[in-house]
């Protein structure tokens, strides 16, 4: 496809939304004699009226040349996909060299063949992610038709989607991710390729799958995303235990929690509910119904030890049956959050406000989830306010808990993601 350039008279995004350090990186590379552009998701977000979460940069400079320009400010990472990380305090900006190479039907294992901007664009996953932004001329550069597809709100693969999904099966999850986030339509070719290639998903890296899932839980579009995952059968291939519950008569309860989490996360762009709290949205309804089957339907009020055992069993079943596993620390934290809900609202109706409870390092996360429960069941609001007040009264000023009482947790300012996925 022939290159097309779109100037300021044709796009009206807010230039002030671009991270100033990203602009500085591009300017320094250009002063050193290299081409450099803002690329991918950052450009897409600007054109869809979203504040960018990532500010990735592509350049003609090779990794060692980027290192030479930025010296100690730069570290080089990766073997399969060599990248430069430019550090600005705790913030990291990702800089990649233009890639080239044939789009074959083999799984990508190494990707360090340097190329031109056009070759680099043709290697990206979807046309909406194949745009470049040149801040020098304030222009959009399009080699793949992404400009038109963004304005028509359609998701198209760059090249044959069957080949592209086989190369990197995580792209199928990203297809559904962009559909959920931007409310775009999937092209017929991509929809057909998704059906053909869905079983390829188990060839992916479990860590990358889990990261995509956790990012979507934070995105403000998780409810729609999980519906799309279930409809496409990808969810069943990756998380069969969760799929079994979602497809049952109580599955909508999980979506109710995800809907409320989405509402909270949309209200605070730069912050999100803690990932452990968000994961509990998937498991708490399952725990409630398991306790109902084992105890309350039989007229038994389970004590906290029994609840801990049932909770641990659910987490173990979820982890062992899933393609991507929660890390051990995360599983432990999720278990604590789940069981603590029944200290807040015990089946016996008798609450015990033991001072040591408030000093558990994860107590504030359990309190976050109780607040989320109040959005679904307003009758719990009084209990939440009581526990919140007692928490504030009992924490020691000289030794605060590991987590604050804020209902949200700041995201780490890291502008980078999995390469070309």
Q: Which of 125, 149, 262, 274 is catalytic?
A: 125
CATH of the domain at 88: 3.30.460.10
Q: Which of 19, 45, 54, 111 is catalytic?
A: 54
**What does the pLDDT read at residue 418?**
46
Please check whether residues 133 and 281 belong to one and the same domain. Answer: no
Q: What is the DSSP string of 180-195?
A: HHH-PEEPHHHHHHHH
SS3 helix, strand, coil % of the chain, rounded to 5?
A: 55, 10, 35
Please check whether residues 106 and 253 belong to one and the same domain. Answer: no
Q: Which of 19, 45, 56, 168 is catalytic?
A: 56
Cα separation, 216 vs 295, whole angstroms? 34
Please check whether residues 255 and 354 belong to one and the same domain. Answer: yes
Q: Among this protein's residues, is 19 annotated catalytic?
A: no
Answer whether residue 4 is part of any domain.
yes
Please check whether residues 129 and 273 belong to one and the same domain. Answer: no
**Which alpha helices (H) appear in 98-232, and where do they start and end?**
117-122, 146-152, 161-167, 170-182, 188-197, 206-218, 222-232
376-415: pLDDT as tens digits: 999 999 999 999 999 988 875 545 555 444 444 444 444 4
Answer whether residue 224 is part of any domain.
no
The total number of structural domains in the chain stands at 2
Specify the DSSP class assigned to residue 203: G
217-254: pLDDT as tens digits: 999 999 999 999 999 999 999 999 999 999 999 999 99
Please check whether residues 17 and 142 belong to one and the same domain. Answer: yes
Q: Among this protein's residues, is 125 annotated catalytic?
A: yes
Please check whether residues 270 and 137 belong to one and the same domain. Answer: no
Cα separation, 381 vs 396, whole angstroms? 25
Q: What is the DSSP string of 222-279?
A: HHHHHHHHHHHTHHHHH-HHHHHHHTSTTTHHHHHHHHHHHHHHHH-TTEE--HHHHH
Answer whether residue 324 is part of any domain.
yes
**What does the pLDDT read at residue 269?**
65
- For 18, residues 6+ apart whose C-beta sits below 8 A from its C-beta are 38, 42, 46, 52, 55, 135
Last residue of a domain, one of 122, 152, 182: 152
Last residue of a domain, one of 152, 186, 207: 152
**What does the pLDDT read at residue 399?**
54
Answer whether residue 232 is part of any domain.
no
**What does the pLDDT read at residue 396?**
57
Please check whether residues 260 and 144 belong to one and the same domain. Answer: no
Beta strands in 266-348 (DSSP E): 271-272
Answer whether residue 247 is part of any domain.
yes
Last residue of a domain, one of 130, 152, 174: 152
Give CA 229 to chain center in angstroms.
14
Please check whether residues 391 and 247 belong to one and the same domain. Answer: yes
Please check whether residues 267 and 368 belong to one and the same domain. Answer: yes
Q: Residue holding tokens 């860590």?
A: 207
Please check whether residues 141 and 275 belong to one and the same domain. Answer: no
Answer whether residue 201 is part of any domain.
no
Answer whether residue 199 is part of any domain.
no
Please check whether residues 138 and 273 belong to one and the same domain. Answer: no
* Full residue range of the structural domain in which residue 132 is found: 1-152
Answer whether residue 236 is part of any domain.
no
**What does the pLDDT read at residue 395?**
76
Which parts of the chain have pLDDT scores under 50?
Answer: 105, 109-110, 398, 403-416, 418-421
**What does the pLDDT read at residue 57?**
96
Q: Among this protein's residues, is 56 annotated catalytic?
A: yes
Please check whether residues 247 and 107 belong to one and the same domain. Answer: no
**What does the pLDDT read at residue 17?**
87
Specify the DSSP class assigned to residue 287: H
- Cα separation values, 230 from 81, 111, 173, 213, 372, Å: 31, 32, 11, 13, 24
**What does the pLDDT read at residue 407?**
47
């Amino acid at each position: 496809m022939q290159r097309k350039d779109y100037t300021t008279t044709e796009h009206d995004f807010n230039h002030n939304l671009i991270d100033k350090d990203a602009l500085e990186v591009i300017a320094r590379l250009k002063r050193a004699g290299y081409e450099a552009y803002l690329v991918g998701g950052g450009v897409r977000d600007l054109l869809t009226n979203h504040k960018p979460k990532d500010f990735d940069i592509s350049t003609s400079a090779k990794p060692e040349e980027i290192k030479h320009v930025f010296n100690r400010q730069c570290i080089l990472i990766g073997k399969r996909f060599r990248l430069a990380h430019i550090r600005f305090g705790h913030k990291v900006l990702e800089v990649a060299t233009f890639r080239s190479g044939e789009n074959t039907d083999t799984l990508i294992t190494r990707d360090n063949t340097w190329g031109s901007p056009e070759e680099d664009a043709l290697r990206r996953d979807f046309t909406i992610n194949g745009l470049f932004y040149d801040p020098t001329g304030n222009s959009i550069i399009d080699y793949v038709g992404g400009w038109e597809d963004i304005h028509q709100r359609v998701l198209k693969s760059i090249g044959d989607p069957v080949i592209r999904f086989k190369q990197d099966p995580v792209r199928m999850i990203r297809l559904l991710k962009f559909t959920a986030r931007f409310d775009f339509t999937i092209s017929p070719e991509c929809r057909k390729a998704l059906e053909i290639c869905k079983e390829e998903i188990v060839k992916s890296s479990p860590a990358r799958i889990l990261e995509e899932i956790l990012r979507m839980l934070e995105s403000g579009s998780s409810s729609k995303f999980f519906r799309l995952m279930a409809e496409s059968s990808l969810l069943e291939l990756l998380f069969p235990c969760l799929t079994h519950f979602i497809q049952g008569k109580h599955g909508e309860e999980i979506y109710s929690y995800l809907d409320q989490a989405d509402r909270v996360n949309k209200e605070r762009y730069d912050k999100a509910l803690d990932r452990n709290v968000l994961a509990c949205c998937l498991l708490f309804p399952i725990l409630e119904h398991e306790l109902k089957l084992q105890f309350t339907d039989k007229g038994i009020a389970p004590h906290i030890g029994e609840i801990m055992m049932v909770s641990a069993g659910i987490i173990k079943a979820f982890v062992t049956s899933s393609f991507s596993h929660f890390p051990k620390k995360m599983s432990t934290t999720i278990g604590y959050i789940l069981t603590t809900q029944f200290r807040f609202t015990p089946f016996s109706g008798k609450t015990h406000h033991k001072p040591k409870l408030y000093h558990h390092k994860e107590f504030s996360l359990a309190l976050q989830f109780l607040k989320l429960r109040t959005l679904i069941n307003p009758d719990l609001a009084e209990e939440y306010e009581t526990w919140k007040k007692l928490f504030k009264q009992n924490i020691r000023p000289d030794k605060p808990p590991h987590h604050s009482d804020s209902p949200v947790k700041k995201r780490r300012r890291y502008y980078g993601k999995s390469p070309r996925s």
